[in-house]
Amino acid sequence: MNFEDLNLNTPLYNALDDLGFTTPTPIQEQAFNVVNSGKDMVGIAQTGTGKTFAYMLPIIKNLKYSTQEEPRVLVLVPTRELVVQVVDEIEKLSKYINNRVLGVYGGTNINTQKQAVAQGIDILVATPGRLYDLALSRVLQLKSIQKLVIDEVDVMLDLGFRHQLINIFDILPSRRQNIMFSATMTQDVDALISDFFKSPQRVSIAISGTPLDNISQTRYNVPNFYTKVNLLEHLLYDTETFNRVLIFVAYKRMADRLFEKLDETFHDELCVIHSNKTQNYRLRSIEQFRNGDNRILIATDVMARGLDIDNVSHVINFDTPLYAENYMHRIGRTGRAEREGKSMVFSTKAEQESIEGIETLMNMEIPLLEIPMAVKISTELIEEERPKIKERNNPIKRKDEDAPGPAFHEKSKKNSKENLGGSYKFKIAAKYKKPKTRGDKNYNKRNKRK
């Protein structure tokens, strides 16, 4: 199949020609007719499969020229980076069309965005929080939205946007087309679909857990952090092979720590992104990596999801992701648009279980490589790797031998009297033959019966 079969229009064909794209990717092929028909759709596709064009080609094809100010197409994405990227993709497609496209996201001046909104828009790309704020301010009118696209639904729900999405659904016209994309099918995604969408048509090119064929995967067993650093440095010295390397770590502190270590050797070639870095810092880092100024980018999972960078030669999983899906997301950053890509994963003993989880999900074994001889095996451990030292005199946690036992002295006679409970009262009463109190109904009852 080629783009001619999709019956597009001349401006779109010209834009695709300029981009040098000749054939639709599988998700573009499959999603086109569904989106074109106006039905609700759920697309299961990883980033890098061409999913942005999969929904944008039919949407732009059907979007008539208009001078109205209110947007007619709304694209919701989880991160600021993705806003920038999707706007960029739409602009590439709209090169020969008069489309007004705007991207809005939090963390930047809302007043500037209000002014931009007031200029009139056709397609609005937004993160949920900022979109809702703009809608509440009444500068942004959503009553003309005909098509809602939610991209990376799984990430969205992961980041806790469910409530914000529901609030947005409430203020959108009920007659609209819903188009969703998710890289993985999770219970949360399923629940959202069944709660809010009318029997959407499912389109999927890769079931969750199916890695792209064009990504070759390998793994190393590495004893600890510092040995991982040594191995990584050893690999990175080969600048020809490792020419654009995306390194994943699970959390911010680890990203900073690894950055500090690698900075000693690869100072001019290195950048880092995680959610504690400012928006500007992150955008600059991504740009430097994208345009080749920096060869190495260190990123956390959430920050790197949705990153669209071509020609990533290697994805290196510096740690083994706990969730197998994250591994799928990570390696999907290489081998984009059907190019060849390579991924590597470093695992310590403690991470072997996660490797098993990943291999089970993919239903394949990741080939294991030997650590090259030249790599120094370190015995030094970082804080997280050291065995946890138990506090000796922890007043809260007593060892069993310290547990309080029975008292060491005999009880005095007075205190060792047997507790006779309620019956004691009656024994005394019987002994003295008269009620202890005037109101002792039981005594009276018993005496009556006699």
Helix (H), strand (E) counts: the chain: 17, 14
Contacts with ligand AMP in 176-215 (CB under 6 A)?
none
We find the least distance from the C-beta atom of residue 336 to ligand AMP, in angstroms, to be 5
What is the footprint of ligand AMP within residues 373-392 (CB under 6 A)? none
**Which of residues 12, 25, 222, 320 is near ligand AMP by CB under 6 A?**
25
Q: Number of C-alpha atoms within 13 angstroms, CB side, residue 221?
A: 9
Nearest CB to ligand AMP, comparing residues 91 and 440: 91
Euclidean distance between the first and final Cα of the chain, in Å? 106
Segment interacting with ligand AMP, rule: CB under 6 A, options 20-28, 246-254, 342-350, 410-418? 20-28
Q: How far is the CB of 177 from ligand AMP (least distance, A)?
A: 19
Those residues whose C-beta lies under 8 Å from the C-beta of residue 129, and which sit 6 or more positions away, are 106, 161, 164
Nearer Cβ to ligand AMP (63/77) = 77
Please report how close the Cβ of residue 4 comes to ligand AMP at its closest, in angstroms: 13
DSSP letter (8 states) at residue 118: H
Site string (83-122) toward ligand AMP, x via CB under 6 A: ------x---------------------------------
Tokens of residue 250, six digits: 């699970």
Residue type, 136: L
Q: Which two tokens stand for residue 359?
A: 């291999």
CB closer to ligand AMP out of 24 and 321: 24
Helix, strand, coil: what percent of the chain each, to 5? Answer: 45, 15, 40
- Identify the residue among 6, 12, 21, 354 touching ligand AMP (CB under 6 A): 21
Q: How far is the CB of 50 from ligand AMP (least distance, A)?
A: 3
User: Per rule CB under 6 A, is residue 335 in the interface with ligand AMP?
Assistant: no
Q: Which residues contact 338 (CB under 8 A, 6 or more apart)?
A: 25, 214
Q: Please, which residue, 85 or 230, has the CB nearer to ligand AMP?
A: 85
* 18/385 with CB nearer ligand AMP: 18
Contact set for ligand AMP, span 295-314 (CB under 6 A): 308, 310
Q: Of 88 and 133, which CB lies nearer to ligand AMP in the complex structure?
A: 88
Give residues with Cβ within 8 angstroms of 331, minimum separation 6: 211, 212, 215, 217, 315, 317, 341, 343
Nearest CB to ligand AMP, comparing residues 49 and 227? 49
Please, are residues 101 and 91 in contact by the beta-carbon 8 Å criterion?
Answer: yes
Total binding residues toward ligand AMP, as defined by CB under 6 A: 16
What are the CA-CA distances from residue 50 to residues 47, 62, 336 (Å)?
Answer: 7, 19, 9
Of 31-90, binders to ligand AMP (CB under 6 A) are 47-53, 89
* CB-based contacts of 341, cutoff 8 Å, min separation 6: 212, 214, 215, 216, 312, 313, 314, 315, 331, 334, 335
Site for ligand AMP, rule CB under 6 A? 21, 24-25, 28, 47-53, 89, 308, 310, 336-337
